[in-house]
Structure 1
Amino acid sequence: MTTTEDARDKVERKRRMPRAERERQMVAVAEEIFAERGYLAASMDEIAERCGVSKPMIYEYFGSKEGLLIACIRQARTELVNSISQSVVGAEEAEDALRRAARAFFEFTDGHRRAWSLLLINEAAVAGPAALDEIEAVRQEQVELDIALFSAFLPDTPRRDLEVAAQIVVGACERLSLWYVAQEDVSAEEAADYLMRMLWSGVAAMVHPRETPGDTRPHG
């Protein structure tokens, strides 16, 4: 096959690419460029060029530049939830489950730095309210995931207590991850250890509640 024929064949394959595959390609390229340049500086022309498609095709798929960012956020959200959900399979105690989930979270933020950068408030804030709503949806999904995790081991704990614990864990993980990804000498396991040292005593109080002050009843 000649060089010209080979080029035509590549173009033809691109044209025949299924829509779902094309969307994944666009999201992957956009994620890379958004992470490299920031949302405002990222060019739809460059995204289209790297994908080998026209700019109108990207608008046809995602509606707008913000719509493309939201698609990137949703992809990262799905990957994060899957990573954490898979990590806790087989855990037999609350402490082990929480440690596994924390380690999976930090492994994701380190191994998917481009995707993680899109889940931070900075880029969404300049993109618009829809992107901010998507970021908050990511956090809320993490909260619900933690509530489900806690309730599996603490079935008698009031819903309000589980919600408070989940909110604290999600906030702590997000903030600690910002520090963690900047450290070259800290592993995901160590970051999870730091988190557990600070938080587990509070969660353990729900697992093994102590006597309330003034409670003189015998406990066997």
Structure 2
Amino acid sequence: MGAVKTKRMPRAVREQQMLDAAVQTFGQRGYMAASMDEIAELAGVSKPLVYLYLNSKEDLFTACIRREAQALVQAVRAGVRSDLPADRQLWEGLGAFFTHTAQNPDGWAVLHLQARTREPFAAEVTAMREEIVAFVTQLIVVAAREAHRDPDLAEREVAGLAEALVGAAESLAAWANATPGTTARQAAATLMNFAWAGLGNLMEGRPWTPPPSEN
């Protein structure tokens, strides 16, 4: 009796299956603990085929980072409509961010917990983060122009605000994914309430100022 022939799968589809299995394994077990054997088994392929397609564990992890980073950036950009008021744009962007990280907890764990603390992988995450910070910076600039109060808000101040907002979103996403019952909408509303009150005051020309130095 002859061997049963399986339907040949396109390389791109097979590679995505491997990446899916790798993201799940790396996200749940961590980079060091994850093995190529379990990734291959989860993907339903042989370990030599994983090596053939993706060369090494390091290259496989890098491919996972790039795919998950690109998906997150695309989700955030797609979630923002440019015809909305500035506060709604920020709200929609935060909603898209938290929805994506909630729906892809293993991918977010790869980006936020595994990759950012290890070289050379940290550079891949930094590039993604810089793109999101630049996007948020532009949203704040648009808000300043809309307010007609401070269209020339200092570039350094805007960049600092965007950096703080993205950092808060990252921490909150990690907390939300680890806290049962917390929805993406609740996480977005929490950060919006925290951030927009301050941003709104800034745009209206009512920034908080530190007390005079005693020195």
Residues 46-88 of structure 1, C-alpha deviation per residue, up to 9 Å, x if partnerless? Answer: 2233434443443344332122112111111111111111111
How many angstroms does 1:162 deviate by? Answer: 1.9
Once residues 190 and 93 of structure 1 are traced to their aligned partners in structure 2, the CA distance between those partners, rounded to angstroms, is 21
How many angstroms does 1:211 deviate by? Answer: 8.9
Confirm whether residue 9 of structure 1 aligns to residue 11 of structure 2: no
Superposed structure 1 runs of 4+ greater than 4 Å apart: none
**In the alignment, is the contact (CA less than 8 A) between 2:91 and 2:192 conserved in 1?**
yes
Stretch deviating more after TM superposition (133-142 or 102-111): 133-142
Confirm whether residue 24 of structure 1 aligns to residue 16 of structure 2: yes
Give the aligned partner of residue 218 of structure 1: none
Larger radius of gyration: 1
TM-score (norm 1): 0.80
RMSD: 2.5
Give the aligned partner of residue 94 of structure 1: 86
How many angstroms does 1:166 deviate by? Answer: 0.7
Once residues 58 and 194 of structure 1 are traced to their aligned partners in structure 2, the CA distance between those partners, rounded to angstroms, is 42
How many angstroms does 1:136 deviate by? Answer: 1.8
The aligned amino acid for 2:132 is: Q
Confirm whether residue 124 of structure 1 aligns to residue 115 of structure 2: yes
The aligned amino acid for 1:142 is: I
The aligned amino acid for 1:135 is: V
Give the aligned partner of residue 198 of structure 1: 194
Give the aligned partner of residue 133 of structure 1: 123
**In the alignment, is the contact (CA less than 8 A) between 2:73 and 2:128 conserved in 1?**
no
Give the aligned partner of residue 216 of structure 1: none
Confirm whether residue 179 of structure 1 aligns to residue 175 of structure 2: yes
How many angstroms does 1:207 deviate by? Answer: 2.6
How many angstroms does 1:95 deviate by? Answer: 1.0
**Length, aligned pairs only:** 203
Which of the numbers 138, 141, 146 marks the counterpart of 1:151? Answer: 141
How many angstroms does 1:44 deviate by? Answer: 0.9
SS in 2 for 1:120: helix
Once residues 162 and 207 of structure 2 are traced to their aligned partners in structure 1, the CA distance between those partners, rounded to angstroms, is 24
**Which runs of 5 or more residues in structure 1 are unaligned?**
214-220
Give the aligned partner of residue 68 of structure 1: 60
In terms of fraction of residues, the more helix-rich structure is 1
SS in 2 for 1:39: coil
Seq. identity, %? 35
Once residues 39 and 180 of structure 2 are traced to their aligned partners in structure 1, the CA distance between those partners, rounded to angstroms, is 31
TM-score (norm 2): 0.82
How many angstroms does 1:206 deviate by? Answer: 3.8
